[in-house]
Amino acid sequence: MGKKFLEKTLIEELEQGGKNFIPYVMAGDGGLEKLIPTLKSLAESGASAIELGIPFSDPVADGPTIQEAGKRALANGTSLRNVIQVLIESRKEVSVPLIFMTYINPIYKYGVEEFVRDISEAGVDGVIIPDLPLEQSSMVSPYFEKADIALIQLVSLTSSEKRMEEIANASQGFLYAVTVNGITGARSEFTVNLEKHLQKLKEVSQVPVLAGFGISTPAHVISMSALCDGVIVGSKIIEHLQENNHKAIKELIQAKNVEPSFNKVPR
């Protein structure tokens, strides 16, 4: 478990000629008793790893679908501590790497050292903190390094080439390439510069590059996966889980290894 497990899993998928798919789920949406069965189902459907959102009252990077999932989870009494406790008890039932997506406030309130200690015990392999700038990452990175947990960085479309290189060099596990300017949520179109952007990130990154934000259809998965090392899908996964539509989730995940009929960004 840990950073090495996450990186090894993603790289092995690429070496075998495939691409990676990381679904996002909100912990506690529908009740914490559903968490482990949902994670197991996603793993069995072919997820390379799973991103697990921690509900928070002020989720600055989340669009409406994920915000509503967070509200439902908070209404169910979900907290960072009880999510960690569920994983401590049952993490071994889930075969793929797990990544926390949370914000710096809950970590700071929990206590950084205590947080890292507990998620290490819970078998968390990586963490994404969208509102923690690279310049302030030293407040958590020494603890993550000691625990061998990946601190995954996000890079935006508006980043300069120098900034892209700095973020790529700092990212562990994989580099999260944000594909839209704005919050999460399904999109029908992407910027015309995205193909060039992802190509540049692939050139400067020492870890796999995965695209996320706005990806919502099998066609998006196919075309985006052709441009980088895989995708992250959140809002559409949450919608399908709400509808209990596991067939649609499996179709999304399996699209990662479909050869595109054309290598272009959907627009």
Higher pLDDT, 188 or 164: 164
Considering 7, 13, 29, 51, which one is annotated as catalytic? 51
- Per-residue confidence band for 3, with pLDDT thresholds at 50, 70 and 90: very high
Higher pLDDT, 188 or 202: 202
CA separation for the pair 162, 34 (Å, rounded): 43
The domain ranges of the chain are 3-257
84's enclosing H/E stretch is helix 80-90
The DSSP bridge pattern shows strands 20-26 and 230-233 to be parallel
Q: For residue range 83-112, what is the model confidence (pLDDT) as tens digits? A: 999 999 999 999 999 999 999 999 999 999
Domain formed by 3-257, architecture = Alpha-Beta Barrel (3.20)
Tell me whether residue 51 is one of the annotated catalytic residues.
Answer: yes
Angle subtended at Cα 253 by Cα 45 and Cα 53, rounded to the nearest 5 degrees: 85
Considering 62, 118, 125, 195, which one is annotated as catalytic? 62
DSSP per position, 26-70: ETTTT-GGGHHHHHHHHHHTT-SSEEEEPP-S--TT--HHHHHHH
The confidence score (pLDDT) of residue 183 equals: 46
CA separation for the pair 156, 146 (Å, rounded): 28
Tell me whether residue 148 is one of the annotated catalytic residues.
Answer: no
pTM across the whole model: 0.92
Q: Once rounded to an integer, what is the mean pLDDT over residues 120-139?
A: 96
